Amino acid sequence: MPELPEVQTTVNYLKKSVTGRKVLDIWTDTPKFFRGGFGAAKNKIRGKKIISVSRRGKYVVFDFQGDSGMLIHQKMSGHLLVGRWKKEKARWIPVFPKTLNDPMNRFIHVIFYLSGGLEMALSDLRKFAKIVVFKDEKLNEVEDIKKLGPDPLVISFKKFAEILKRKKGRIKTVLMDQGVIAGIGNIYSDEILWYSGIHPLKRVEKLSVGGVKKIYQATKKVLRLALKQGGTSSDDYRKPDGTKGGYYEARKVYQREGEKCSRDNGIIKRIKIGGRSAHFCPKHQKLLR
């Protein structure tokens, strides 16, 4: 699932490519993506100019001319692409750019036809993505947004520490809770804990002030590094031009089970926490009681 760096990379690209363009029409073969109905969503934004594109947690947020806005959560395998396509034998074939020819970009289920001959498409192998059109001034009242915690890129240490102080449970699980901190998932929670030297099973209520500080600093560091690399393309995710993000090659621990830790030559292990995998180095991420 795209996390903060992947979503912010997408938003940065969309800001430059689709802002100022009108939505001329929308096509889909999967109306269920549109919560509240495809027809209603189409009627609200067709003919409207895209004023801005931003991010809330893992959501891409579009602000349209007038009183409409739109949220897109790309979910497990979805990613937004920008270019042009043509249909051949029930398949969408990219016309440009050539980088859209990556096989992971072929699952086109929504196309927004924009002014100037450009198109924005949603490729989603598993069809789990969510699109919500809402009244502009009601963004903070949209159920998905109301539940989100603060953004890890802008939160202060004081606020971060206050939030963790009120929580209980395993630190990896808490970091991935979108109601606690918005935008961190499986990949970056592993990376953050590797950098901070904290075991993923460590209980939040047993963290020292120094431990919380290390997690806070590692969170900023990891997310910024991943954003600089355009995110992680370990599976489905691609940038809007169809290319891969580069952080997968730079990762320290995620999906490196059995490999030597680059910090101390410990052997990376993988365990399950709440149904999710957690990767860590047992040599410098010790579970101290």
Q: For residues 11 and 84, what is the distance between their CA atoms, to the nearest angstrom? A: 19
pLDDT value, residue 255: 97
User: Is 257 one of the catalytic residues?
Assistant: no
Which positions of the chain have pLDDT values less than 70? 289
Residues 132 and 165 in one domain: no
Residues 9 and 140 in one domain: yes
Residues 167 and 140 in one domain: no
Domain range holding 80?
A: 4-146
In 89-220, DSSP assigns E strands to 91-96, 108-114, 119-124, 130-135
pLDDT value, residue 289: 66
pLDDT value, residue 138: 84
- Total number of domains in the chain: 2
pTM over 0.75: yes
Residues 193 and 253 in one domain: yes
Residues 71 and 205 in one domain: no
| Among 46, 49, 252, 276, the one annotated catalytic | 276
Helix (H) or strand (E) holding 54: strand 50-56
Q: How far apart are the first and last CA of the chain?
A: 32
Q: For residues 231 and 8, what is the distance between their CA atoms, to the nearest angstrom? A: 9
Amino acid symbol at 23: V
Residues 177 and 224 in one domain: yes
User: Is 58 one of the catalytic residues?
Assistant: yes
| Among 48, 58, 238, 239, the one annotated catalytic | 58
At 155, is the secondary structure helix, strand, or coil?
A: coil
Residues 65 and 11 in one domain: yes
| Residues 184/224/171/58 CA torsion (nearest 10 deg) | -10
Residues 22 and 135 in one domain: yes
- How many residues are recorded in the chain? 289
